[in-house]
Structure 1
């Protein structure tokens, strides 16, 4: 029986993105091990038959916890002798590849869900993470990227295999979970949420952080509402910036049109009730929230950054706006909320574009990669 080791900083990384890949290995008779920080999702993974190894990885490359994590991971790899190691998340991935090197465990694959060094990244990110990745690349048999900027960057790395650089269409999305059902009553859903038929709903899903940059949307909405007061912004999520944003909305006197919905489990229904989606992040790898909105058929407004640009072509599936540009964000919102022929075409185009990012397609892409490195 083949033994597969998957490594990431925390357990919910796997329940959020990698359940289909765990099942992929299990269907082929492999024994799947996971090394990650234990949390609320550990029991869910163990219930799948996964062998879970609680290792307290830190997301910070400076944490003294990493010395203990190194020792535990070294003991694990020496004991189990894995046939394949697949690492995720920057710090855990670096440590995993280093330990694999010194224990002569191979092959090793790394999925970069978005390098911390990118066009426009803080200089500190380049000083810390770029040298780490250049070094770890030499211990990596396969580097898997999910956006084109990272793929191009990866061409400068010296991997253990010259043909070890790959591009895949993300980690995969179950399109049927987000596609609008034929019997869905949009107006009834809007009414149930407290909105009128004439109200237009702009949806944003994401953690409230400085990186997600909801301030840009709120600032733009202040200007939008001077022109069209029928537009409402639905902000879904939680986070450290939430209370600051709520206070700011109150001061701007636009709280009637800005709605904080908190953490929700009914994301598909909210998207189906919406008219457009917006995400103004400063950094993304490949934003799942945008992909979910595309599967629901919503035209997109997004910042002109890595990841967003892979999903959206300006004027085709939506509009790309510069980070911090309030005027262009306002213009994009007003354009996309008009039921014009161009916007109708965008709704069609997003549903066509997202098909390439389906879980069925990405599993096929990953199957081709896995078969290069392991026979099952």
Structure 2
């Protein structure tokens, strides 16, 4: 536990009179890119009783670029319930495909996210277009680019790209899929990568943000440079060819690092430490 209790007492009052924990959920270098914004963020973070970072790398950034004292930054991973996000049985997989209207014998690539510029769904469509015709891309999500992306898919990969719109629960798509694809230009630690891994799906992703904490190249999937259309296509071929092996390792990796029960225990220890300080000060 790195939390400095005395520091927490000194810097806890940010309008509430209570200890405040800030949870960093994205890439701090991206959302605080300008000097003025970095200065404001630096001032705010230094007033926190504790700062929760998603990865060791983001912890280092918060310390080196924003001046947060090392003893007040805890690494608390993004997490999901492994009993909910689990590999489907054969019958569950077939049922999921039928529910979504997908071909039972296709090799299905899932994408989950907003249809907005930073997600670069256009890269995914272009990368999939020259792949064998049994490779089917299924996109869950909505956004301002939907019409444009649907037209692109009709032109480049007719009949092989399905837009589902918003899904109330992405689990059905993960159970229907053989792999997950992510082509964003910026990310933190996307929860969908953890959900996919726990469901036993390998991932092809652009190497942005802290994606590398979830996707271990050659072990749980593959990483490609941002905007590399040919690289995405080749990675998809390789990952689909090794999907059973990679999926088993993805599940194991995510259980070790991102299981909700494990991360919840870490949060409880952190919050109890701060509550103890608050009680001592009030006594």
TM-score of the pair, normalised by structure 1: 0.66
Aligned to 2:35: 127
Residue 292 of structure 1 pairs with residue 195 of structure 2: yes
Distance 1:173 1:127, change over 3 A: same
Q: Deviations over 1:174-210 (max 9, x none)?
A: 1221213547342343344333333111100111111
Matched residue, 2:263: 362
Matched with 1:64 is: none
Instruction: Point out the structure with the larger helix share.
Output: 2
SS at match of 1:368: helix
Q: 1:162 to 1:287 in 2, by over 3 A?
A: closer
Aligned to 2:275: 374
1:163-178 equivalent positions in 2, closer than 5 A: 163-170=71-78, 172-178=79-85
Equivalent residue for 2:110, pick from 193, 203, 210 = 203
Of 127, 149, 166, the residue aligned with 1:263 is 166
**1: CA distance, partners of 2:48 / 2:232:** 41
**Residue in structure 2 matched with residue 28 of structure 1 by the alignment:** none
Specify whether residues 182 and 256 from structure 1 end up closer, same or farther in structure 2 by C-alpha distance, changes over 3 A only: closer
- Name the SS for the 1:110 alignment partner: strand
Unaligned segments of structure 1, at least 5 residues? 1-84, 86-97
Q: Tell me the distance in 1 between the aligned counterparts of 2:88 and 2:175.
A: 9
Question: Cα deviations across residues 51-100 of structure 1 (Å, max 9, x unaligned)?
Answer: xxxxxxxxxxxxxxxxxxxxxxxxxxxxxxxxxx9xxxxxxxxxxxx994
Query: Residue 211 of structure 1: SS of its match in structure 2?
Result: helix
Unpaired runs of 5+ in structure 2?
1-7
Q: How does 1:98-137 map to 2 (within 5 A)?
A: 100-101=13-14, 103=15, 105-118=17-30, 125-137=33-45
Contact residue 216 and residue 222 of structure 2 kept, 8 A:
yes
Distance 1:364 1:213 in 2: 36
Report deviation, 1:325.
0.3
Q: Secondary structure at the match of 1:203?
A: strand
Shift of 1:266: 4.1
Q: How many residues align?
A: 266
Separation in 2, partners of 1:304, 1:183: 32
- Aligned equivalent of 1:314, options 217, 224, 247: 217
Q: Residues 368 and 273 (structure 1 numbering): CA distance in 2 closer, same or farther, change over 3 Å?
A: same
CA distance in 2, matches of 1:268, 1:325: 28
State the partner residue of 1:15: none
Contact 2:52/2:73 (<8 A) preserved? yes
